Amino acid sequence: MTQKLYLDQPYQTAFEATVVSSRALDAGTHEVVLDRTLFYPESGGQLSDAGQLGAARVTDVKEGDDESVLHTVQGPAPTSGEIAGTIDWARRFDHMQQHTGQHVLSRAFIEAAQLPTVSFHMGDETCTIDLEGSGFDDAAARRAEDLANHVVAENRPISVSLVPVAELAQLDLRRKVPEGVTIARIVSVRDFDAIPCCGTHVRSTGELGLVKVLRAERVKQLHRVHFKVGQRALDDYREKHGIVQTLAQRLTTSAGDLMHKVERLTDESQAAAKRAKQLTQRLAQAQKPSLLQGASTVGTHRVVVYRDADAALVRALATELQAEPGTVALLGADDGTVVCATARDLTIDLATTASALARELGGSGGGKGGFAQLKLENGARVDELLARMRTYVSERLS
């Protein structure tokens, strides 16, 4: 059993301990058990601590079956005797902010929309809570976020206490104590939230700085809310603010008018793309007669082999030539796009052979039956593929 110093000393960053055991996992990696530790093991949705154990770097921490704490280290591994450990404080405090912020936000969703949290996950970038209930919408998320930040601004104290299970009835706990627990560790935000929890937490809500809901998604029957707290939230704001400012400058507008400008440019772009597609199709229709006239013949069939700089035109030409009975079109573009298509009255399997050739030449793509669309990474090999497909088609039509 390992004495878990992190439960009572979350702000402590250095400690000394005795090595209980050490075993090699693989080259340069060991698993070390100490008699006492400040390193928090991954559990309850919270990520593990990192830091140094002697000259070795702690990369992972987990709980063992016998209430021990298993430290995975890289570097010179301690095998016995006394050892000094140091916590990565920036990582620890970030986790304290995220976990405490989750407590506050989860209670806020109950108060704002009667949406209880059924699970919590802390990631290296963002955190999530899964909410149960039917009252979730954007307005509910804003209400919960506002309430959470109101509690942050009030700088309410946060306390940790050990409470016998028999005395828990007098507490308004957000979640039940697990079966078999006789003494519960209760984390409380004064006059707001109380919950059994073995994570590390800040001393007061003011240390959270900011709680920001980022987005939400539906996951089965639950609402998954992505959020950031504290420095993560500030960093997120800085990044997005920088993006908004850069876009506003490039589009010669204000940040407040950016959405309107983007919507207008999007509408214009979609209209231009639609017009370009129409013009490309008209160009393909205009080119079709000359391509058919210049096509080689195999028996009663025509084979069009054509190369153009524009992939969109190549695709449009394939559509036009497919409508011509007895015609096979083998078309390539400078960007590596290749389209192989037969008229609808032919039964040649182009897709299987063309796809295999594309892979052989370092490309990809596929299709079915008489149609294949491919992409070669090396545009210079387009002519090679077209030539080999020309030979294949001639053999099938002869």
Residue range 247-279, pLDDT digits in tens: 999 999 999 999 999 999 999 999 999 999 999
Give the max Cα distance, the chain.
94
pLDDT per position as a tens digit, 303-350? 999 998 899 999 999 999 999 999 999 999 999 999 999 998 998 999
- In this predicted structure, what is the pLDDT of residue 212? 98
CA nearest neighbour of 53 among 27, 95, 81: 81
CB-count exposure of residue 317 (10 Å: 0-12, 13-18, 19+)? buried
Residue 104 has pLDDT above 90, yes or no: yes
Confidence of residue 398 (pLDDT cuts 50, 70, 90): confident
* pTM (predicted TM-score): 0.78
Are 30 and 56 spatial neighbours (Cβ–Cβ below 8 Å)?
yes
Are 373 and 365 spatial neighbours (Cβ–Cβ below 8 Å)?
yes
Residue 77 has pLDDT above 90, yes or no: no
3-state secondary structure (DSSP) of residue 60? strand
CA nearest neighbour of 102 among 60, 137, 151: 151
Give the integer Cα–Cα distance in Å for 371 and 343. Answer: 9
- In this predicted structure, what is the pLDDT of residue 27? 80
- In this predicted structure, what is the pLDDT of residue 251? 94
Question: First CA to last CA across the chain, in angstroms?
Answer: 81
Mean pLDDT of 122-133: 96
- In this predicted structure, what is the pLDDT of residue 342? 95
Cross-strand pairs, 26: 29
- In this predicted structure, what is the pLDDT of residue 194? 95
pLDDT per position as a tens digit, 18-28? 999 999 988 88
Residue 171 has pLDDT above 90, yes or no: no
